Amino acid sequence: MQSTQLVAFIRDIYKTNAFIPLHAPTFSEKEQANVADTLESTFVSSVGKYVDEFERKIEAYTGSARAVATVNGTAALHAALHQAGVERGDLVITQALTFVATCNTLYHMGAQPVLVDVAKTSLSLCPEAVEAYLYEHAKLTGQGCYHKGTGQRIKAVLPMHTFGHPAELDELLLLCKQWGLTLVEDAAESLGSFYKGKHTGTVGEFAALSFNGNKIITTGGGGMVLCQTATQGDHIKHVTTTAKVPHPYEFHHDEAGFNYRLPNLNAALGCAQMEALPTFLKQKRALAQHYAEFFRKHDCQFVLEPSYARSNYWLNAIICESEVQRDALLTETNAAGVMTRPVWKLMHRLPMFSHAHRGDLTVSEWLESRVINLPSSPVEV
């Protein structure tokens, strides 16, 4: 494929000769009004109506029992893993092909990732690969699941729904039940993505969403923990807001908490963005269809949603025929002012995770050298 054809196609979609970013946020009068209202009220920080409203909106949309807003997605992931009982020295099974935040969170909890392969269809954690790893390296005792080599506890399985494409959650959940593990979803990229009719992040016991500037909706910075019971939700709220025991004036904190609360100013943005989400999703799915049609006539494979899922198509992706083709496309599109980018380096190639336990990573390595993300901002096509 000629990069000039791709650049022309993308410029035609976005109807501009200016720089085209990978993913830009879209705001309307509603965001303006909510932010102005927050400034007017002076409640820009840790108290105010928008935090609650944003949480209830996310609960209604996802069908999650409880949603707790946090200052960013990484904080949400930390709070989710903390509530799941992940402790210092534990191992958590996740994918080698992910954004670094997934593994950074484990690192700072004193836990370690076990890097496992992804599925070709979803680009997300592969149940067969998890099973193969457990079968070879894990043993189940009365106390739980342990690594045969190091004796470390394996506590959780942490799939990430890459670019919004849901992992095979039923299969992962079954493995978790068989091996005594907790399923925690890194759903940072998958607000608006459904697995067999269920919103991503509601199959696992806990999940994290992100509302960073490049995600499908944004609060500037922000995140959300999803969980399955009100009791867990209450505790997550408690621990993410310094674990202060309610009292008219005394400062008593009953455990070591975090200051992870989302400011009201950011939540005000989130409430407005949630109203726009259905439109973003419609536009992004139409855009993905457009790309899919274009690539049917070219030699790169467009990544379609898995058959069992409805994806938000957060970031559109293609799989090139070779690393050489990928490098040429990346160079030429970026030089032409159309932003494209490769997928993340696999986690074990980063210095802090170079010694991480890992399984066979054939698919991840294959994808690592071939995947390109294309401009994906919502647009009328």
Ligand X SMILES: *Cc1c(COP(=O)(O)O)cnc(C)c1O
Nearer to ligand X, 212 or 266 (CB): 212
Q: What angle do CA 57, 63, 66 make, to 5 degrees?
A: 70
Residue 255 gets the label, from left (phi > 0), alpha (psi -120 to 50) or beta, of beta
- Which of the ranges 43-51, 99-107, 145-153, 165-173 carries the binding residues for ligand X, by CB under 6 A? 99-107
Nearer to ligand X, 145 or 309 (CB): 309
Q: Do 274 and 58 touch, CB atoms closer than 8 A?
A: yes
Which listed residue (34, 38, 64, 74) binds ligand X by CB under 6 A?
Answer: 74
Nearer to ligand X, 74 or 264 (CB): 74
Start-to-end CA distance of the chain, whole Å, equals 22
Encoded one letter per residue, x for contact with ligand X by CB under 6 A and - for no contact, window 174-213 reads ------------x-xx--------------------x-x-
Closest among 194, 146, 204, 138 to 171, alpha carbons compared: 204
- Which of the ranges 69-77, 246-254, 283-291, 301-309 carries the binding residues for ligand X, by CB under 6 A? 69-77
- Which of the ranges 50-58, 95-103, 169-177, 349-357 carries the binding residues for ligand X, by CB under 6 A? 95-103
CB-closest chain residue to ligand X: 73
Q: Do 112 and 357 touch, CB atoms closer than 8 A?
A: yes
Residue 226 touches ligand X, criterion: CB under 6 A: no
Q: Compute CA distances 239 → 44, 190, 249, whole Å.
A: 21, 25, 19
Which listed residue (94, 98, 232, 273) binds ligand X by CB under 6 A?
Answer: 98
At its nearest, how many Å lie between ligand X and the CB of residue 186? 5
Which listed residue (3, 34, 72, 316) binds ligand X by CB under 6 A?
Answer: 72
By CB atoms closer than 10 A (0-12, 13-18, 19+), residue 380 is exposed
Q: Looking only at residues 251 through 310 of this chain, which bind ligand X when binding is defined by CB under 6 A?
A: none
Q: What angle do CA 66, 278, 208 make, to 5 degrees?
A: 35
Rounded CA-CA distance 366/120 in Å is: 9
Question: How many residues sit close enough to ligand X to count as binding (CB under 6 A)?
Answer: 15
Nearer to ligand X, 13 or 123 (CB): 123
Nearer to ligand X, 138 or 156 (CB): 156
Which listed residue (101, 154, 329, 372) binds ligand X by CB under 6 A?
Answer: 101
At its nearest, how many Å lie between ligand X and the CB of residue 73? 2
Which H or E run contains 95? strand 91-95
Residue 73 touches ligand X, criterion: CB under 6 A: yes
Q: Looking only at residues 111 through 170 of this chain, which bind ligand X when binding is defined by CB under 6 A?
A: 160
Long-range contacts formed by 245-252: CB under 8 A, 24+ apart? none
In DSSP notation, 22-76 reads S------HHHHHHHHHHHHH---SS-SHHHHHHHHHHHHHH--SEEEEESSHHHH
β-strand pairing of 309-310 with 194-195 = antiparallel
- Which of the ranges 36-44, 93-101, 138-146, 277-285 carries the binding residues for ligand X, by CB under 6 A? 93-101
Residue 102 touches ligand X, criterion: CB under 6 A: yes
The amino acid sitting at 345 is K
Closest among 85, 98, 196, 178 to 138, alpha carbons compared: 178
Nearer to ligand X, 182 or 210 (CB): 210
**Contact positions toward ligand X, by CB under 6 A?**
72-74, 77, 98-99, 101-102, 160, 186, 188-189, 210, 212, 223
